[in-house]
Structure 1
Amino acid sequence: MSVVIVIPARFASSRYPGKPLAMLRGATGRTASLIERSWNAAQAVAGVDRVVVATDDRRISDAAGAFGAEVVMTSPDCRNGTERCAEAVAHLGIAPEIVVNLQGDAPLTPAWFIEDLVAGLRKTPEAELATPVLRCSGRMRADLLADRVAGRVGGTTAVFGAAMQGLYFSKEVIPYAARDYAPDEPTPVFHHVGVYAYRPEALQAYPGWPEGRLEMLEGLEQLRFLENGRHVLCVEVEARGRQFWELNNPEDIPRIEAMLAEMGEA
């Protein structure tokens, strides 16, 4: 088996309890849950052998089963989505070449983001984890900054070196830029897209590493790789005219519904 997508989903989110079951209205007026829209995004990816939802909550399992998803029940002790993916793959008893973690709060993730991510990891044998980054327009950067001013945790940003090796990820907007940008102007800020592609050996090792200080401060699971000296590859992806946003807070629902309508997503 080559590529498996795991969609980790938990009910007990501290910022937004029950988030995977939040309903989102599409362009046609049809409503579907966040977990169903994330499942549909995974189904659109080429070259994937299997897609599973990994959860510790029967409500999510029942909802996912109702729309035809394969579900793996995992422990409530998983501290984040990466640990949940590791447990799910172990339960399945499979040995894929690459495991993709498509987090259940990213229903707007285009298929080519994941396809480019998998291709990037295959071309970079020294990398153990790959994750996409999207250059922010002035509009997206302003949205991220507005969330921070309002006291909301919005998207995550990433900085990386010349060889695209990840240096740091933060819920603050980094790097700092002293000027404003026009809405359609490219900026030096890269939005980290919440998708990961792991080599199975690194994924299975991850739960055994202690939570890092920076990981706990930022609440970002990928920092455990950096704090353990692992090679994280950032893969720049192109929006191709698509808007992208993750559902982090209840206030994000109108924003995502507007994007679904603008893109004509049912």
Structure 2
Amino acid sequence: MRIIAIIPSRMASTRLPNKPLVDICGKPMIQKVWENVSTCRLVDRIFVATDDVRIYEACAGFGADCILTSAELPSGTDRIMKAYEISGENADVVVNVQGDEPLLSGAIIDELLENFIRTDFDVGTLITEIKSPEDLLNDSVVKVELNENMTAKCFSRKPVPEIENVPVENWLSLKKYYKHIGIYAYKIDALRKFVSLPVSAWEREEKLEQLRLLETGAKYFCVETNAFLIGVDTQDDLEKVRNYLQNQ
């Protein structure tokens, strides 16, 4: 089985300007992410996919294979597929590793892949238990509701499922809620199907592109991790990551 990883990376963030190139312990964030993925035992090749020549040049500086794609692509997953087509690769699984997850280690990605590739499901992804009411109520924290076989029933920015007649602050004492971590391991046919689909009303409402494929009946297999992870969207997130790494 051939597995490749593609890291989509853009300068489009409004909350954190030039996000992929911000400094984390002396290196641009995109380099930290690439170095982490480079430690994966199960990944055969890694690419960065970008629409910005500044990111392309930075990647050339630290030795990453980088593919320039159009700025007009509608989603990160469409960028992944376009980069895959340009790469000339013939993979069984394509892993979409977000370029703003500098704490996501190669070991965690390998754990996801080891659990996922032995299944018949379409996409593998990561989840972690939500511990605080603040995260449960935060729209930026994407939640996932699970079926019994650890596949996703739905993704939402709202707490799902709701517990009627109970204050929200008490929900975590009654049920486990899970945060979705934005890494996706696609069987290649699932990736091709994703980019062939139109944007759905559900996806548009929640602003979550994974719903496009989920509502066609595709199965997202969820692997739980207890690792400390922070997606970098703001300056505050960046400082938390820097402090964490400096104290390791």
Is TM-score (shorter-chain normalized) higher than 0.5? yes
Indicate the residue corresponding to 1:258 in structure 2: 243
Q: Does 1:210 align with 2:198?
A: yes
Q: Which runs of 5+ in 2 are unaligned?
A: 163-167
For 2:219 and 2:93, locate their aligned partners in 1 and report how far apart those are by CA, in whole Å: 15
Indicate the residue corresponding to 2:129 in structure 1: 135
Shift of 1:164: 0.9
Amino acid at match of 1:56: D
- Assess if the C-alpha contact under 8 Å between 1:135 and 1:186 holds in 2: no
Structure 2 residue corresponding to 1:172, chosen from 158, 166, 170: 158
- Assess if the C-alpha contact under 8 Å between 2:15 and 2:234 holds in 1: yes
For 1:202 and 1:250, locate their aligned partners in 2 and report how far apart those are by CA, in whole Å: 35
Q: Deviations over 1:188-219 (max 9, x none)?
A: 12121110000111112222201112222222
Indicate the residue corresponding to 2:9 in structure 1: 9
Structure 1 residue corresponding to 2:229, chosen from 228, 241, 244: 244
Indicate the residue corresponding to 1:228 in structure 2: 216
Structure 2 residue corresponding to 1:160, chosen from 141, 146, 169: 146
Shift of 1:186: 11
Counting only pairs closer than 5 Å after superposition, residues 172-211 of structure 1 correspond to structure 2 as: 172-176=158-162, 177-179=168-170, 188-211=176-199
| Runs of 4+ that moved beyond 6 A | none
TM-score (norm 2): 0.89
Aligned-residue sequence identity (percent) comes to 31
Structure 1 window deviating more from structure 2 (215-224 vs 90-99): it is: 215-224
Q: Does 1:76 align with 2:71?
A: yes
Amino acid at match of 2:11: F
TM-score (norm 1): 0.83
Cα distance change of structure 1 residues 204 and 96 upon mapping to structure 2, 3 Å threshold: same
Q: Does 1:88 align with 2:83?
A: yes
Q: Which runs of 5+ in 1 are unaligned?
A: 25-29
Amino acid at match of 1:228: T
- Assess if the C-alpha contact under 8 Å between 1:135 and 1:189 holds in 2: yes
- Assess if the C-alpha contact under 8 Å between 2:39 and 2:107 holds in 1: no
- Assess if the C-alpha contact under 8 Å between 1:129 and 1:197 holds in 2: yes
